[in-house]
Chains A and B, each alone.
Chain A
């Protein structure tokens, strides 16, 4: 089983489009894991049926039981996050600002504060419109993606891949360089970095490469929207050579991409030229992957 993890650092570089395209090209032999839970978009292209749905709890949140509360104000005194609200002498917790540290519950002399598991969203196991299995999640507003949630999504994808004997797990990774992206990378067979020639994207690419080198992961890079800044494309290519990252391919800045999204399809389903380009990028990736 091979785990292909697609990451980008900066948003809007086309990471999900690339992941969805590979999922379509390899539809009979792959499972999809959407770990970009903060801005999950894969479901728009692949229409998973959400046939299995579980509640997801993460972290803690404080709740004040009004009948035990004597309005002594100790909780508000210790809370560093301004999460204790007082209205007409009644104390309550603003769940948006509660960080779940539990300090208030520990100092409350009347045991009026309870720390509850925070209901943070849903985990799904689905079959997509292209017939492949998919694991994904949806968070409530103000809930954060975390290493734990990414691990939960990936574990489900792995189990589904084993059950249906699929060779590839296509992981749409978390953005940024924090805990969720590290969790996305755990167990990766190969990492595809999707970037674009802009100052902000290059900056993020360098931070990701440093992370990959720390975990000694094999990686290749795909440069999207090449016409945005042709000189910077050259700069990125030189950078990749220096860091020994495979150049998997270059994609144009083309109307075919937004058109495909508007049609709720992967670009390889709507545009023959892009299909050829993506297919060669994917073949390239597979040969690098198996060249160990």
Chain B
């Protein structure tokens, strides 16, 4: 399974970015191959409007089934994300990707 994170920096020890559309990085962990892929979100962050929508499309293209983030996507982004089967875990504030992932595993045993 692929797990996506909104991240402030491109590694496991970085904090979860509370924002969705304007997150610094989108990180995708592939449990099967045990690899963490970095997607720099600089282009979308620069969008004046509709960053959430653009991010939703990008997230769709990664094929992730879980999103771990902070505030959670806004209304527009949710409308797009409803087209994919995605589990969204919100409320991960001031916590590293690593810890957020462990937390997710514990909750979903």
Contacts and interface: CB of A to CB of B under 8 A. Distances in A.
A51 B19 CA distance: 29
Interface size class of B (residues with CB under 8 A): 10 to 19
B48 interface: yes
Nearest to A100: B48
A185 B70 CA distance: 12
Given A151-B22, A186-B22, A216-B91, A59 B70 contact: no
Contacts of A183: 22
Contact of B47 (A148, A185, A187, A216): A148
Contact of A215 (B45, B46, B49, B71): B71
Contacts, number: 36
A147 B22 contact: yes
Contacts of A58: 48
Interface string A170-183: 00000000010011
Interface in B34-78: 45-49, 51, 70-72, 74
A215 B72 contact: yes
A117 to B, nearest CB: 10
A181 B45 CA distance: 16
A21 to B, nearest CB: 27
A147 B51 contact: yes
Interface in A51-92: 58-59
Nearest to A182: B74
A186 B46 CA distance: 16
A8 interface: no
A146 interface: yes
Contact of B71 (A146, A147, A179, A186): A186
Contact of A186 (B18, B49, B90): B18
A179 B49 contact: yes
Contacts of B91: 216
Contact of B49 (A147, A151, A216): A147
A216 B18 CA distance: 12
B54 to A, nearest CB: 12
A187 B48 contact: no
Contacts of B18: 186-187
A167 to B, nearest CB: 14
Contact of A59 (B19, B48, B51, B74): B48
A12 to B, nearest CB: 27
A214 to B, nearest CB: 8
Contacts of B49: 146-148, 179
B19 A148 contact: no
Interface in B76-109: 90-91
- A-B interface, 10 closest residue pairs, ranked by CB to CB distance from nearest: A186-B19, A187-B18, A59-B48, A146-B48, A148-B48, A151-B22, A215-B71, A58-B48, A186-B18, A186-B71
Given A59-B48, A151-B19, A151-B45, 9 more contacts: A146-B49, A147-B51, A148-B22, A148-B46, A148-B51, A183-B22, A186-B22, A187-B70, A215-B72
19 contacts: A58-B48, A146-B48, A146-B49, A147-B48, A147-B49, A147-B51, A148-B46, A148-B47, A148-B49, A151-B19, A182-B74, A186-B22, A187-B18, A187-B70, A187-B71, A215-B72, A216-B71, A216-B90, A216-B91
Interface of A: 58-59, 146-148, 151, 179, 182-183, 185-187, 215-216
